[in-house]
Structures are given as structure tokens and as C-alpha cells.
Amino acid sequence: MNNKIFILVAILVTPVLVFFGYDYYQQKQAKDLKIELESLKKVPESERCVVTIRGDRYDVTTFRSKHPGGNIFKCGEDMTDAFNKQHGESQLRKIQIYKIE
């Protein structure tokens, strides 16, 4: 009987925990992005690093020091070929926060 109650509670509680965990992750990501955008405002325009990937421009100034592959960016250039060799669609979705519209 105790096992059935435990399973029932687990089934009912798991979606709630997943929802709040996802919400926390989104809030943390939004906070991190806000901090990053604030620090970007402090960088003079002449020192910013903008690259083009698949026809879109991205300001990677604050990201280039965090890039797992190191600072391989060629600021002011088209990095499409280099990006396509190492990354897929999921990484393209992740960098949309750096897109300049």
C-alpha cells in the first residue's frame, strides 16, 4: 500500500517540480542576459566584436571570452563557414540573443 501511495505522490508532484525548475531556469537565464547586456553598454562601440553568420549580424563582444572553443572570432567578418563546421541548429538558436536587428 505504501508503494502505491509513493508512486501516486511521485506522479502528481513531478510535473509541478519540473514546471518550477524550468521557470527558475528561465528566470536565471533572463537575469544573466540582463547583466550581460548591461556590461555590453559599457564597451565602447569601437571595441565591440560583430560577426556575420548566415546573413545575420551578431554582437559577440561579451560572449567571445566565454566561447568554449576560445576567442576565435574574426570581428567584422563573415563567420558562416567556421560556424557551420562546428555547430548545428541548436547552437544557432542559442546565439539569437546576440543578434543585432
Higher-confidence residue of 76 and 36: namely 76
The answer to whether 75 and 51 have CB atoms below 8 angstroms apart is yes
Q: Residue 100: its pLDDT value, please? A: 86
Residue 71 above 70 pLDDT? yes
CATH number at residue 60: 3.10.120.10
Instruction: Decide the pairing of beta strands 50-53 and 99-100.
Output: unpaired
Count of the separate structural domains present in the chain = 2
pLDDT, tens digit, 9 for 90 and up, residues 48-65 = 888 999 999 998 988 888
- Round to whole Å and give the CA distance between 40 and 48: 8
The answer to whether 79 and 52 have CB atoms below 8 angstroms apart is yes
Residue 82 above 60 pLDDT? yes
Say if residue 61 is in the same domain as residue 77. yes
Expressed in angstroms, the distance from the first to the final Cα of the chain is: 59
Say if residue 87 is in the same domain as residue 55. yes
- Kindly report the number of other CB atoms within 10 A of residue 74's CB atom: 10
- This prediction has a pTM of 0.58
Q: Which domain holds residue 60?
A: 45-100
pLDDT band, very low/low/confident/very high, at 33 (cuts 50, 70, 90):
low
Say if residue 76 is in the same domain as residue 63. yes
Say if residue 62 is in the same domain as residue 17. no
